[in-house]
Amino acid sequence: MSRNSALNEWLDKNMGRIFLAPAVTLILIFSIFPLIASLILAFARVRFTGGGFKVRFAGWRNFDKQLFGSEQFHLLGTFTEISVPGWLFGLLATGGLVWWMVRYVRSRFTWFGFIGRLITFAMALGLSWMFAATLLSGNPFGTVGTTLFYVIVGCGIQFVIGTALAFACSQTIRGSTYFRVIFFVPMMITPIGVGYIFRMMADTTKGPFANVWQWVGLGEFAWAADPWAARVFIIVADSWQWIPFVFIMMLAAFESVPRDLGEAAEIDGASRWQSFWEITWPHVLPIAATVMLIRAIEAFKIVDLPNIMTSGGPGIATESVSLQAYYAWRALDLGQASAIAYILLFITVVICVSFFNLVVLARVRNQR
């Protein structure tokens, strides 16, 4: 009896820890430990021997090969001479970034903020020059460029269309409920399925739009063999699937705008246009930033659509960084796979944390 009550007392005292412990333990085992192990693998060469594997320390060799060596064309792109527009864009970006840093240092300065912004600065600078040297100089870019293309262009399209549809549906119109249900449908379809469905849609000889393709004169056009057409098709499929997510979040956001604010504005004689930009939009914007942050985090992981729709082809034109790491793993090159994955992790974390600090949090700070 006394033992039992002692146990109960201990339980009562530590209940807070017991509630948190399972989550923390699971994350430590399946997330933090693999993260550390992955970092070790990224600096190692792994060789499979009968039944097991041997890990040998390899220093920076994996990263060196990816960033500067024989795999550079694959990850970053082919670099030759930078063209005039490339120089223009690169210098413009450099100038803008330097101005941004100088402005920060002059206005307020903390070491923590400075180092964080320095990392953001370096990443933005590197990526701008990467685009200047590849895309703007007529060279193919690598998986990092492709992934960023999916994230930036894809999320941009999804944001604009999703928000527009949400705004339209937030008006009191007949049939609005039906539209909401219909617009939600693509989110329920598995991404693998979406990939195959859009392969059927895009078929220029047997697909539903074959006659349209013939009529336009693209009957023989093999979109999967053209880098930009293939990328655009993947973006279309990705957007088809994810616009519902943006739509449903933004719809909830539009409906949470307090009515009395709009009332007051209209009594003061504001037009609908004005009241939208001055009341609805500022209210919705912080939610929009959060929604797009979530969307971008997921978009960086894109792997199933390129794998299903094009297997990364033609060449490496539609390959995402995740897919490249998967192919490296499939070739049993665990060291390279981990190094690629870590580069992706680094880019994702820097971009997402920068976005969070500079866009989402900045709004919160300004409101105070």
Partner 1 sequence: MSTPARPHRSIFEPPAIGQMSLATKIVLYSVLIGWSLFVLFPVYWLLITSFKEATAVNEGPFFIPWVDFQPSLHAWKELFVIDYADTLRAYFNSIIISLAATALSVLVGSMAAYALSRVEYAPNLITILFFVALLALVAVSVGVWGIDWRLAAAVGVALFFFLARAVGNLYQVRLQNGDILFWIISQRILAPIVVVVPIYMMFQSVRMLDTHLAIILTYTVVNMPIVVWLMYDFFNSIPRDLEESAQLDGATMIGIFREIVLPLSRAGLAATTLLVMILSWNEYLLALFLSTSRAQTMPILVAAMNAGERGILWWTMSVAIIVMIIPVVVLAVILQKYISKGLLVGAVKG
Restricted to residues 18-77, the positions that interact with partner 1 (CB under 8 A) are 19-20, 22-24, 26-38, 40-41, 44, 53, 55-57
List binders of partner 1 among 206-245 (CB under 8 A).
Answer: 206-211, 240
| Among positions 191, 281, 355, 358, the unique one binding partner 1 when judged by CB under 8 A | 191
What is the C-alpha separation between 246 and 234, in angstroms, rounded? 18
What is the C-alpha separation between 116 and 119, in angstroms, rounded? 5
Q: Is 13 in the site for partner 1 (CB under 8 A)?
A: no
| Among positions 148, 169, 234, 279, the unique one binding partner 1 when judged by CB under 8 A | 169
What is the C-alpha separation between 149 and 295, in angstroms, rounded? 14
What is the C-alpha separation between 12 and 146, in angstroms, rounded? 53
Asked if 141 and 77 touch (Cβ cutoff 8 Å), the reply is yes
Asked if 289 and 281 touch (Cβ cutoff 8 Å), the reply is no
| Among positions 93, 135, 153, 187, the unique one binding partner 1 when judged by CB under 8 A | 187
Least gap, CB of 195 to partner 1 (angstroms): 8
Q: Report the candidate in 327, 313, 160 with the shortest Cα–Cα distance to residue 229.
A: 313
Q: Give the total of residues touching partner 1 (CB under 8 A).
A: 109
Place of tokens 């989110």: 187
Q: Report the candidate in 175, 193, 231 with the shortest Cα–Cα distance to residue 308.
A: 193
| Among positions 256, 258, 282, 315, the unique one binding partner 1 when judged by CB under 8 A | 256
Asked if 346 and 338 touch (Cβ cutoff 8 Å), the reply is no
Asked if 88 and 126 touch (Cβ cutoff 8 Å), the reply is no
| Among positions 100, 157, 261, 286, the unique one binding partner 1 when judged by CB under 8 A | 286
Least gap, CB of 96 to partner 1 (angstroms): 26
From 99-107, 114-122, 129-137, 198-206, span contacting partner 1 (CB under 8 A): 198-206
What is the C-alpha separation between 66 and 344, in angstroms, rounded? 12
Q: Is 144 in the site for partner 1 (CB under 8 A)?
A: no
Q: Report the candidate in 145, 143, 152 with the shortest Cα–Cα distance to residue 320.
A: 143
From 59-67, 97-105, 133-141, 182-190, span contacting partner 1 (CB under 8 A): 182-190
Q: Is 184 in the site for partner 1 (CB under 8 A)?
A: yes
Whichever of 23 and 84 has its CB closer to partner 1, that residue is 23
List binders of partner 1 among 114-143 (CB under 8 A).
Answer: none
List binders of partner 1 among 295-334 (CB under 8 A).
Answer: 297, 300-301, 303-304, 307-308, 322, 325-326, 329, 334
| Among positions 16, 110, 220, 365, the unique one binding partner 1 when judged by CB under 8 A | 16
Asked if 274 and 265 touch (Cβ cutoff 8 Å), the reply is yes
Q: Is 12 in the site for partner 1 (CB under 8 A)?
A: yes
Cβ atoms within 10 Å, residue 12: 9
Q: Is 352 in the site for partner 1 (CB under 8 A)?
A: yes
